[in-house]
Chain A
Amino acid sequence: AQTVTQSQPEMSVQEAETVTLSCTYDTSESDYYLFWYKQPPSRQMILVIRQEAYKQQNATENRFSVNFQKAAKSFSLKISDSQLGDAAMYFCAYRSAESGYALNFGKGTSLLVTP
């Protein structure tokens, strides 16, 4: 099974600043998808951004962007102009045809945003 590693249990950023959350994964597959999910205290799972492995261009969604390095098996999330509402747990997830396209999650990074 593929493993997803998030090496930063906690991160802190000041409002309006930029922060990068790290994620690495281990796989021998060539066709897969990567996601970042946000989980606020309400425990909802909210999709932040997704990346198809066959696309070289890094995905961007407003203030959120990724740095996808396929050869290095790295998928970091950059949050620009951080807002107080960005405070949450962030999970990196891998998805492939294995297990019916189920998501394989990392342990998460807790992001604190300070005024």
Chain B
Amino acid sequence: NAGVTQTPKFRILKIGQSMTLQCTQDMNHNYMYWYRQDPGMGLKLIYYSVGAGITDKGEVPNGYNVSRSTTEDFPLRLELAAPSQTSVYFCASSSRDRGNQPQHFGDGTRLSIL
């Protein structure tokens, strides 16, 4: 059972570069999320999606973009990377429900912007 798979696990970017963090899930979940975790902090919501073709902003969306063309995939795009985007990024998914089902998390991507 793969669950939620994130690639890459680690990446170093230079300021101004762009990249896409990949996230795929094989549980046929409708809801998918991107969070970032800064050192010593809890996770903060960047973007979320409630189904293919539907995305919306979370608490910290600036500097990021997402798309959801399929149920399985929810890539996160960083445009013009900045040092403030150095963080650990988590993708998560859950089934369509009223909220009592747990979110399944990927193993995270550690991203450094230098």
Chain A residues with CB under 8 Å of chain B are: 1, 4, 31-33, 35, 42-45, 47, 50, 52, 91, 93, 95-97, 99-108
| Stretch of B19-27, B43-51, B76-84 with 4 or more beta carbons under 8 angstroms from chain A | B43-51
Query: Can you report 30 A-B residue pairs in the complex whose CB atoms are below 8 A from each other?
Result: A4-B42, A31-B98, A33-B99, A33-B100, A35-B102, A42-B107, A43-B107, A44-B108, A45-B105, A97-B99, A99-B48, A99-B56, A100-B33, A100-B50, A100-B56, A101-B94, A101-B97, A101-B98, A102-B45, A102-B48, A102-B58, A103-B35, A104-B45, A105-B42, A105-B44, A106-B42, A107-B40, A107-B41, A107-B42, A108-B42
**B113 CB within 8 Å of chain A:** no
**In the bound complex, what is the Cα–Cα distance between A43 and B19 (angstroms)?**
22
In the complex, which residues of chain B have a beta carbon less than 8 angstroms from the beta carbon of A47?
Answer: 102
B59 adjacent to A1 (CB under 8 Å): yes
Smallest distance from the beta carbon of A58 to chain B beta carbons, Å?
Answer: 15
Chain B 43-70 per-residue mask, 1 if CB under 8 angstroms from chain A, else 0: 1110011100000101100000000000
Determine the distance from Cα of A93 to Cα of B58 in the docked complex, in whole angstroms.
15
A52→B58 contact, CB < 8 A: no
- By beta carbon, the residue of chain B nearest A44 is B107
* Residue with the highest number of chain A CB atoms closer than 10 Å, among B40, B43, B90: B43
What is the count of residue pairs linking A and B with beta-carbon distances less than 8 angstroms?
65
Separation of A34 and B3 alpha carbons in the complex (Å) = 22
Count class of interface residues, chain B:
20 to 34
B11 → chain A, closest Cβ, in Å? 15
Task: Answer whether residue B13 sits at the interface, using C-beta atoms and an 8 A cutoff.
Answer: no
Q: Looking at the complex, which one of A31, A35, A45, A101 makes contact with B31 (CB distance below 8 Å)?
A: A101
Q: Is the CB of A50 within 8 A of B56?
A: no
Which residues of chain B have C-beta atoms less than 8 A from A93's C-beta? 42
Q: Which residues of B contact A100 (CB under 8 A)?
A: 31, 33, 48-50, 56
**Which single member of A1, A4, A91, A96 contacts B99 (CB below 8 Å)?**
A96
> 3 nearest interchain CB pairs?
A105-B42, A45-B105, A101-B99
Q: Which residues of A contact B50 (CB under 8 A)?
A: 100
